[in-house]
Amino acid sequence: MIRRSTWVLLIIFLLALAGLLFLSRRPQGLKVIQDATPTAAPITFLDYASEDVARLTIQPKGLPAFTLERSPQSLWQHLAVDPRPLDPAKVEELVATIPTLQAQSQLDAAPPDSATGLQSSPILITLEFKDGHKTTVRFGNLTPTSSGYYAQVDSGPVVVLNKTSFDNLSPLMALGGLVQPVPMP
């Protein structure tokens, strides 16, 4: 003979199963999550293939500009008289990292130059591509909240770049960061 407690548990199980079937057949189904709020599309800072860059001119803050050019053998060479050989991996890292910089926000109206530093004392990088067109990227000051850096591509809108991604790139924006280390005797 089946105990009374077994019958009670069987009835509770059948009621739960019937409730689940009823909820799953409703027009809304088991919809628990409300409509998702749309998120803003990611901001594209700069988009190019690194192998399309033929020449790169960098003007660091307060230092003379220098130009690097890709030879037909895809090796980078310094276009000035400098006895130090370039580290091709570091130059490729620089060229490949610029389009991966993460823009946190795009500013509708540019703050004054005293805040951004984009006109008065920027770091300028001019990329010349194999098809002949040029793109100039300006990197300015740290934002007042120290959360990112101001940047601008050509005469486009001012964006705020992620501080960490820019800090990883900045050692490569000086000639000393792109040359091979000289072994000490």
Domains of the chain: 50-177 (2.60.40)
pLDDT digits (tens, 9 = 90+) for 158-172: 999 988 888 888 888
Q: For position 16, what pLDDT does the model report?
A: 92
Q: For position 61, what pLDDT does the model report?
A: 82
SS (H, E, C) the chain: CCCHHHHHHHHHHHHHHHHHHHHHHCCCCCCCCCCCCCCCCCECCCCCCHHHEEEEEEECCCCCCEEEEECCCCCEEECCCCCCCECHHHHHHHHHHHHHCCEEEECCCCCCHHHHCCCCCCEEEEEEECCCCEEEEEEEEECCCCCEEEEEECCCCCEEEEHHHHHHHHHHHCHHHCECCCCCC
- Judge whether residue 35 has pLDDT over 70: no
pLDDT digits (tens, 9 = 90+) for 96-121: 888 888 888 888 887 888 888 888 87
